Amino acid sequence: MNPEDELLRPVEEHELEEKSKIKKYVWMVVGLFLILLMASFMLTGYSVRSIIAGKTNSEKIEASVINSEYGKILFVEGVYVELKELYHENEKEFKACLIGEYSDEVYLINDLFLPKMHFQDYDKVVSSPCPDNTLLDMHSHPQQHCTFSEQDLKSFQPINENTLLTVMCENDRFIFQK
C-alpha cells in the first residue's frame, strides 16, 4: 500500500462517519415530524378541525361592519344588537332574513325579519322563505362551527342576484356564500 493512501484512508473513514451521523439525525427529525403529524391528525377530531376551518373561512364583525369577499356589510344600529340577542337566546338554530339595500358592493342592513319556523333543533332549522328584498338569508350554527353543511349549500336558492347565504356561528363571526 502506498503511504499516501494510508494517510488519506483515516480522513475518508472520518468523513463517512460524519455523513452517517448527519443522515441519522436527518432521519430522526423526519421521523419525529411524521409522528407529530399523525398524532395531531388523530388527536384532533372532526369538531376541532371544523372549528379551525371555520375560523379561517369566516369573517369577524367590528364596529357593526364586516369586510367579506362579496363586499362590505354594514349593520344599521340596533339590527346587529338584535341579532346578537337572538343568537344568545337560542340554543337551537334560528333563521333570520336581513333586509336592506345593496349598491357598489356595499350591503346596508337596516331590518331584521324572522320567518315562521316549522322545525327548530340544535343542528337544523326549517322555516318559511325570506321576503324578496332579503340580502342576507341567514341562519345560526352552534358556537364556533363556521362551515356550511352540504344541506346548507344544496338548499340555498338566492332570492335575488345579490342575496348571500349567511351563517352566524359566534357572537361576532359570520360566513358567507353566494
Q: Give me the domains of the chain, ranges plus CATH numbers.
A: 49-177 (3.40.140)
Q: Cα Rg for the chain, rounded, in angstroms? A: 28
What pLDDT is attached to residue 25?
Answer: 86
Q: Is the pTM above the cut of 0.75?
A: no
Could you read off the pLDDT of 35-84 as tens digits, one per residue? 888 777 666 665 666 666 667 788 999 999 999 999 999 999 899 999 99
pLDDT of res. 36? 85
| pLDDT exceeds cutoff 60 at 7 | no
Q: In a 10 Å sphere around its CB, with 0-12 CB exposed, 13-18 middle and 19+ buried, how is residue 55 labelled?
A: middle
